[in-house]
Amino acid sequence: MKCVRSLALSLALFPAALVAQGAVPSNAVQISGAVSPAPDSLKSGATVLGFDAAGKLVPIRQGSNNLICLADNPASKDFHPACYQKELEPFMARGRALRAQGLKHTAIDSVRYAEIMSGALRMPPRPTTLYEYFGKKENFDSTTGKVTGASAVYVVYTPYATEESSGLSTVPLAGGPWLMYPGKPWAHVMIVPEKPKAADTK
DSSP state at residue 61: E
The residues that bridge with 100 in the sheet, in sequence order, are none
Domain segments of the chain as ranges: 4-191
Closest-CA residue to 155 (of 94, 85, 96, 104)? 85
In the predicted structure, residue 31 carries a pLDDT above the cut 50: yes
What DSSP designation does 189 have?
Answer: E
Mean pLDDT (whole number) for 98-104: 94
- Write down the mean pLDDT value for the chain: 88
In this structure, which amino acid lies at residue 145? Answer: G
186's enclosing H/E stretch is none
What average pLDDT does this structure show over 160-174? 97
pLDDT digits (tens, 9 = 90+) for 72-96: 999 899 999 999 999 999 999 999 9
Residue 53: CB atoms within 10 A of its CB come to 9
Q: Residue 63: its pLDDT value, please?
A: 96
Q: What is the pLDDT of residue 141?
A: 94
Q: Is pLDDT of 4 > 50? A: no
pLDDT (0 to 100) of residue 91? 97
pLDDT of residue 23: 81
- The contacts of residue 98 (CB under 8 Å, 6+ apart) are 8, 107, 108, 111, 112
Q: How far apart are CA 185 and CA 116, in angstroms?
A: 8
Cα–Cα distance between 167 and 163 in angstroms, integer? 5
Residue 194: the pLDDT is: 82
Tell me: pLDDT of 11 over 70. no
Average pLDDT score over residue span 13-20: 41
Say whether pLDDT at 124 is over 60.
yes
Does the pLDDT of residue 14 top 70, yes or no? Answer: no
C-beta separation of 146 from 32 below 8 A: yes
φ/ψ (deg, to 5) at 83: -130, 140
Strand ranges (E), 34-109: 47-51, 57-61, 67-70, 78-79, 82-85
pLDDT of residue 199: 52
